[in-house]
Amino acid sequence: MLKLTRGLLAIALLALLLAGCAYQPGIVERVTDDDPATLLEQAQQQEPAQAARTRLDAADILARQGQRTQALEIARQIDRSQLAGDPLTRWALLLADLGESEGDPEAVIQATQGLDGLALNRSQTLALREQRGLALLEQGKPFAAARALLLVQAESDDEALNDPIWRALGGVEQRRLAQLGELQGALTRGWVELMETVRSGDGNIDRLFLRLDEWRSRNQRHPAARRLPADLIALRNLRGQEVQHIAVLLPESGPLSRIATAIGEGIRTQHRLSDDASVRLSFIDSTSGNLESLYREAENRGAQVVIGPLSKDRVSELERLNQVPLPTLALNYGKGATNAAEGLFQYGLSAEGEAMQVARRAWDDGHRRAALLVPDNGWGQRVGEAFWDEWRAQGGKVTKAVRYNPGASATESTRRTIAESRPDLLFMLALPDYARQVPPTLDYYGANKLPIYATSHLFSGQLNPRLDSDLNDVMFLDIPWQIPDAAAGGEDALPFASSYRALQKETDPNLFRLSAMGVDAFELARRLPQFQLVPSSELFGATGTLRATPDGRIQRTLPWARFVDGVPQPVLSPGAFGDERTP
C-alpha cells in the first residue's frame, strides 16, 4: 500500500489531539477502557445510529491495542449513513488510516468519499485527499488519482507528491491527459506538458534532457521544475548508452512468415521515419538455425538489442534461461507462468490481455453478472477463460458461458446467453460478420438494454457505418491506430503519426495491427535499457500504452470506443470511485 508522502496525516492527527481528541494510533473523541467485545455485543441491541457509534468506539480500541486487522474489518462494516458530525469525521480518519496501514486501498476509497460533507480542517482535508489519490493509483484509477493528488499539490506546493503524480499521469491515455490539462489550472497544465514532452521523445536521452531543460526554463516555479520525478532523474544514467544497432530475428518463410512480413514492415517504416538516423537494423532470417546460432550472428553484426523471436515455442525456450545473451524484445508471450530470464521482454497483441482489461472495465462500470459469448475453438476457450478468471477475481459472477459455431447464425447462441439467466452485461468475442448479428438478436428477444463489451476483434479497422450501425452502443477497446478519433482526438494526435499515414496507405487492412506492432517493437527496443533501469517506464505507442510487468512481459492499456451511428466514438474512462467527480 502506498504511504502518505509527507507528514499530512501526522498534522491532521495533531489537530485532533489539540481539539481534545485522542489518537494513538486510533482516532477517537475520547479514550475508553471498555472491552471492544462487550461494545460489539451492545451494538447488536442498539438502534442503528447508536450502534454505529458504539462500533466506531470498538474499532478504535482495537486499533490502539494493535489489533488493526480486526479494527479495519469492523470500521469497514459501519454504515456511514448512520453517522454525522464529529463521529463521521472520526470514522473517515480511522478507516483511511487503517486502510493505508493494512494495505487495503478499497477501505481508503470508502473512507474518503464525500469529503465535502465532513467537519475537517485544512490539514485533515489534504491528508485524506492525498490518501485517496494514492489509493486510487494503487487500484489502477490513474485519472482520478492524478486529479486528487494535483488538488493537494495545488494547495500545498509539496514536491514530495511529484513521484506519485508522475506515476498517475503515466497511466492516463493521451486524450484524457489533454482533458485533464483543460480541467485544472497552471500546475496541471505544466504537468501535462511535461508528460507530453517525455511521451513524444524518441529514446535519445541527450535530446530528451535538452527538451526537459527547455520545459524547466518555461516553468521555473513548478514543483517538477524544482525537483524532477525520480524516474526522469534515473534516466540521466543512460546517457551515452543509447541503442544504436538492433538485430531483428524474423522468419522469411514458413507459417509465420506473413505475420513476420507485416511486423517487419512496421519496424522498417518507423526506422526510416524516426528522428534518429544513427540507429542500424540487421534483419536475420530465423526460419532455420537454433537460438544460440541466431544470437551469435546478432553479436557478430554488433547488435546491442534483439527484436524477436516470433514463435511462441522459441520464446518459451528463452524464458527458461537465467539470462539472454543480449537484451531481447520477443514478439510473443511464452507458455510459462512467469518469465525467469534476465534481459528478456515479451510483447504481443494478446487477446487474453484485452479480455482481462474488458473485465476490469465492466466491473468498474458497476456490473456484477456477466454472460459470455465466445467461439467454440481454442482461441475462444483461451480468451473466454482469461475474461472469466479476471471477472471472478474482481468478485463478479458468470451467469452463462456460451460457445458458438463461428460459421453458423448468431441467433440461437445469442438467445441461449440470456435464457434463464439475468446478466447485467454481455462479454462478446467475435469477428465483425458474427458480431453484427448479436445486438439485433438481443433486441428481438427483448434484451436491447443489455450492455455489450467486446475486444478489438469486432472492428475491421475500416469505417463502414452502414454495416456497423448494427453494433451501435457496443463498447470495445482497440489500439489507438485503429480508432484515432476515439483514442487521441484525430490522426494528427496519434503517436508516430507519420508512420501511421505511410502504413495506412500501403498495408493490407487485415494486417494493419501487426504493422503497428512492428512500429512499437522498434520503439520499445530502442528503450530497453530505459525499461531495465526504470521499471515504471512506459511507451505511449501505436498499439496502446505499454508497460512492463516485473517479469518483463509488456502489458497494453487500450483506449475505449463505442459505436454511434456505426462509427467508433470516444467514451469516458470508468466512473467508479470518482473518475468523473471532484476527488
**pLDDT for 207-259, tens place per residue?**
889 999 999 999 999 999 999 999 999 888 887 778 999 999 999 999 999 99
The predicted pLDDT at position 10 comes to: 45
Half-sphere exposure of 103 (CA within 13 A, CB side): 1
CA dist 379 → 151, 161, 331, 456, 514 (Å): 45, 44, 18, 14, 18
Helix ranges (DSSP H) in 47-173: 48-64, 68-77, 85-101, 105-111, 122-138, 142-156, 162-170
CA dist 369 → 165, 391, 397, 413 (Å): 34, 9, 5, 18
The predicted pLDDT at position 279 comes to: 92
With 0-12 / 13-18 / 19 or more C-beta atoms within 10 angstroms meaning exposed / middle / buried, residue 523 is: buried
Give the bridge partners for 428, in sequence order. Answer: 373, 454
Whether 344 and 357 share a structural domain? no
CATH classification of the domain holding 132: 1.25.40
The predicted pLDDT at position 576 comes to: 32
* DSSP annotation of 228: -
Q: What is the pTM of this model?
A: 0.80
Cβ neighbours of 147 (radius 10 Å): 26
3-state helix/strand/coil string of 490-520 = CHHHCCCHHHHHHHHHHCCHHHHHHHHHHHH
Checking if the pLDDT of 579 tops 80, the result is: no
The predicted pLDDT at position 27 comes to: 40
Checking if the pLDDT of 133 tops 60, the result is: yes
378 in any annotated domain: yes
The predicted pLDDT at position 496 comes to: 93
Quote the distance between the C-alpha of residue 116 and its chain's center: 28
Whether 132 and 220 share a structural domain? yes
CATH classification of the domain holding 405: 3.40.50.2300
Is the separation of the CB atoms in 91 and 49 below 8 Å?
Answer: no
> Which residues are CB-contacts of 279 (< 8 A; sequence separation ≥ 6)?
243, 244, 245, 246, 271, 526
pLDDT tier at 20, thresholds 50, 70, 90: very low
Whether 538 and 518 share a structural domain? yes
State which H helix or E strand residue 400 sits in. Answer: strand 397-404
Whether 435 and 335 share a structural domain? no
How many helices (H) and strands (E) would you count in the chain? 27, 17
Whether 394 and 257 share a structural domain? no
Torsion angles phi and psi, residue 222, rounded to 5: -75, 140
Checking if the pLDDT of 581 tops 80, the result is: no
The CA distance from 529 to 327, in Å, is 8
The CA distance from 302 to 281, in Å, is 10
Torsion angle of C-alpha atoms 263, 380, 140, 493, degrees rounded to 10: 40
279 in any annotated domain: yes
Is the separation of the CB atoms in 561 and 544 below 8 Å?
Answer: no
Strands 323-330 and 305-307: parallel
**pLDDT for 256-302, tens place per residue?**
999 999 999 999 999 999 877 789 999 999 998 899 999 999 999 99
Total domains present in the chain:
3
The predicted pLDDT at position 22 comes to: 38
- Sign, CA torsion 383/385/390/394: positive
Question: Average pLDDT for residues 440-467, to the nearest whole number?
Answer: 96
The CA distance from 238 to 11, in Å, is 39
Whether 485 and 361 share a structural domain? yes
- What is the gyration radius of the CA atoms in the chain, in angstroms? 26
Burial 190-204 (b: 16+ CB within 10 A, else e): bbbebbbebbebbbb
Is the separation of the CB atoms in 92 and 101 below 8 Å?
Answer: no
The CA distance from 269 to 445, in Å, is 48
Final residue of a domain: which of 191, 210, 235?
235
Whether 99 and 206 share a structural domain? yes
534 in any annotated domain: yes
**Of 3, 8, 10, nearest to 164 (Cα)?**
3
The predicted pLDDT at position 15 comes to: 47
Whether 325 and 196 share a structural domain? no
Final residue of a domain: which of 235, 261, 295?
235
Whether 248 and 214 share a structural domain? no
292 in any annotated domain: yes
**pLDDT for 23-73, tens place per residue?**
333 444 444 457 899 999 999 999 999 999 999 999 999 999 999 999 999
583 in any annotated domain: no
Whether 309 and 410 share a structural domain? no
Look up residue 384 and give its three cell numbers.
473466454
Task: List the single range of 199-203, 223-227, 351-355, 556-560 with lowest mean pLDDT.
Answer: 199-203
The predicted pLDDT at position 522 comes to: 97
580 in any annotated domain: no
Look up residue 580 and give its three cell numbers.
468523473
Quote the distance between the C-alpha of residue 404 and its chain's center: 30
Residue 446 belongs to domain spanning: 350-490+558-568
pLDDT tier at 11, thresholds 50, 70, 90: very low
Give the bridge partners for 454, in sequence order. Answer: 428, 476
* DSSP annotation of 453: E
Quote the distance between the C-alpha of residue 283 and its chain's center: 33
Whether 405 and 475 share a structural domain? yes
The CA distance from 581 to 583, in Å, is 6
Question: Average pLDDT for residues 405-417, to the nearest whole number?
Answer: 96
- DSSP per position, 317-329: HHHTSSEEEEEEE
212 in any annotated domain: yes
